[in-house]
């Protein structure tokens, strides 16, 4: 579940000019003492001290992996506060705006609000939307794991997933097709075009696929008027 975070920390240690200082930085970020870390790894505290001080210059990859695994495991045993903090920070970089609605809005009304045209043909016209999430699609594709991706649905999947930085929109619909949770609408913000496969997948899933010409700033301003 936390492999992405582990890879980030291990990679930062591995490429650092001072891996010991980087190990210390992450240990202190997690609020873990040298004694706690060494006990979890079943080694002496002096070994951790040697790595962090530079007396042991370059830890082996296997050692780095054990250090990172131990940091994550200790934090999870304490409730996972720091693990979740770092995970949420990355998710928040992908989510540009998000809102839950107390009253539903129809597909047609939502599309009209954002000046969008519905380009798929097979969808549930009576389905109501109870929220939206605006997502930077490039950041989401590059950084979010499948587990983290679920969090873009907020309180309900009965919402519009709105993707910026879309070229032709194949990847978002493939991701939605592979996920058991399905949104009530998918919106592409100013795409260069829309891939035929994306439209076909939207029809298969019975999801209205919408294209809007609005720039990101104006789009979000319009969305925020909902329920004001």
Render 39-51 in DSSP notation, one character per residue: HHHTS-HHHHHHH
Q: Give pLDDT tens digits for 173-225.
A: 998 898 888 999 999 999 999 999 999 999 999 999 999 999 999 999 999 99
Token pair listed for 114: 């954002």
Report the run of H or E that residue 209 belongs to, with start and end: strand 209-212
pTM attached to this predicted model: 0.62
In DSSP notation, 57-103 reads: -S--HHHHHHHHHHHHHHHHHTTSHHHHHHHHHHHHHHEEEEEEEEE
Closest CA to 148 of 76, 81, 72, 90: 90
CATH 3.40.1390.20 fits 91-223, yes or no: yes
Contacts of residue 125, Cβ cutoff 8 Å, sequence gap at least 6: 107, 108
pLDDT tens digits, one per residue of 31-72: 999 999 999 999 999 999 999 998 887 888 899 999 999 999
Show me where the domains of the chain are located.
3-79, 91-223
The interaxial angle of helices 61-77 and 3-15, nearest 10 deg, is 140
Strand partners, 147: none
Let me know if domain 3-79 sits in CATH 1.10.260.40: yes
Residue 216's pLDDT is what? Answer: 93
Band (8; pLDDT cuts 50, 70, 90): confident
Q: In a 10 Å sphere around its CB, with 0-12 CB exposed, 13-18 middle and 19+ buried, how is residue 25 labelled? A: middle
The answer to whether domain 3-79 and domain 91-223 are alike in fold is: no
What are the b/e assignments for 8-22, b being 16+ CB within 10 Å? bbbebbeeeeebbeb
Q: Counting beta carbons within 10 angstroms of the beta carbon of residue 66, is it exposed (0 to 12), middle (13 to 18) or buried (19 or more)? A: middle
How far does CA 211 lie from the centroid of its chain?
22
């Amino acid at each position: 579940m936390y492999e992405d975070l582990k890879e980030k920390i291990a990679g930062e240690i591995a490429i650092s000019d001072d891996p010991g200082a980087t190990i210390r930085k992450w240990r202190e970020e997690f609020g873990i003492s040298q004694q706690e870390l060494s006990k979890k790894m079943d080694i002496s505290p002096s070994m951790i001290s040697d790595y962090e001080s530079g007396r042991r210059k370059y830890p082996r990859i296997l050692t780095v992996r054990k250090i990172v695994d131990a940091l994550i495991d200790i934090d999870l045993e304490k409730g996972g506060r720091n693990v979740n903090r770092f995970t949420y920070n990355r998710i928040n970089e992908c989510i540009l705006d998000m809102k839950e609605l107390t009253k539903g809005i129809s597909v047609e009304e939502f599309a009209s609000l954002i000046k969008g045209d519905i380009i798929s043909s097979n969808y549930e016209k009576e389905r109501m939307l109870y929220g939206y999430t605006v997502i930077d699609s490039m950041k989401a594709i590059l950084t979010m794991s499948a587990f983290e991706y679920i969090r873009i649905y907020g309180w309900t999947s009965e919402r519009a997933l709105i993707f910026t930085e879309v070229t032709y929109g194949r990847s978002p619909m493939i991701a939605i097709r592979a996920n058991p949770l399905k949104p009530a609408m998918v919106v592409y913000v100013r795409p260069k075009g829309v891939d035929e496969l994306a439209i076909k997948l939207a029809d298969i899933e019975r999801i209205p696929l919408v294209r809007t010409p609005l720039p990101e700033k104006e789009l979000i301003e319009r969305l925020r008027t909902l329920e004001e």
